Amino acid sequence: MSCFGKVGTNISGLNGALVVGSKAKGAVGLPSSSGSLSFGESEKTKFPALRIDFMGKQLVLSDKRALGDWSVKAPSGFSLRAQASICVSRAMRWWEKTLQPNMVEINSAQELVDSLLNAGDRLVVVDFYSPGCGGCKALHPKICQLAESNPGAIFLKVNYEELRTMCQCLHIHVLPFFRFYRGSEGRLCSFSCTNATIKKFKDAMAKYGVERCSIGPAKGLDDSELVKLAEFGEIPRDLRRLPVPTGNMVMTSLEKSGSEKRAVTRMETEDKSPLIIV
């Protein structure tokens, strides 16, 4: 039998593994306990070949086209399993390049909520992007330059592919997309822009980047967004931080629970469903 695998293919058989290819072109690697390697020419094809004593069996790998596919031949009864893997080079991770100290990668919805609440009166720019978005990639260097020239602002980067559910709860439907927040004012503006419309981003920085004090704690995400994130399990349902539905007061009374009495307030919410607050 024979099977074919390109450089970088992982082939395992019996109790060992054969790896064809490495960082060096044409390199072949084997576990030290698998067997021995020898180079020469195939007796039948007269092409460059690699002979491998693998777990007591002999394999012959011949390069029929010098730079073409490797042909792997094994004795009958010898089984092979081929598995290919794709690895993204760090050189291709454009969203990690030229980051400034005030640019922070967000890894969860809770981290986004906390970052906005802890920002105080500082301007916060939330940058929603995707690694596969060409517009995001082209705009990234300019956003880094703006972050460098505005060290008092905080730039939070949100990877749409990794936090898709959170982004959908926040109604992010186009990329690249930006949201501006500051202190108790909460969200100041939101928009999408590209390299061609970068003036929109610069105008927002000029308008909202001026330092100013706001009365009260930072607001962060809207109440409806917090409720949505809690419904989808992106953040814990904490009644001290989530908004209480509005409605008409019905009655307050003392009710007995076991040996204790407690005050219970019943409300009728806007959707007419009862809400009990203990």
Active site (catalytic) residues = 133, 136
Residues in CB range of 207: below 8 A, 6 or more apart: none
In the chain, what is the straight-line distance between the N-terminal and C-terminal CA atoms, in Å? 74
The strands making up 154-159's β-sheet, listed across from edge to edge, are: 103-106, 154-159, 123-129, 177-182, 186-192
Calpha distance 190→199 (Å, rounded): 14
**54 has which bridge partners?**
35, 57
Instruction: Please state the separation of Cα 274 from the chain's center in Å.
Output: 39
Structural tokens at position 111: 């981290």
Calpha distance 205→180 (Å, rounded): 9
Residue 179 vs residues 56, 150, 228, 232, 261: alpha-carbon distances, Å: 64, 16, 18, 22, 48
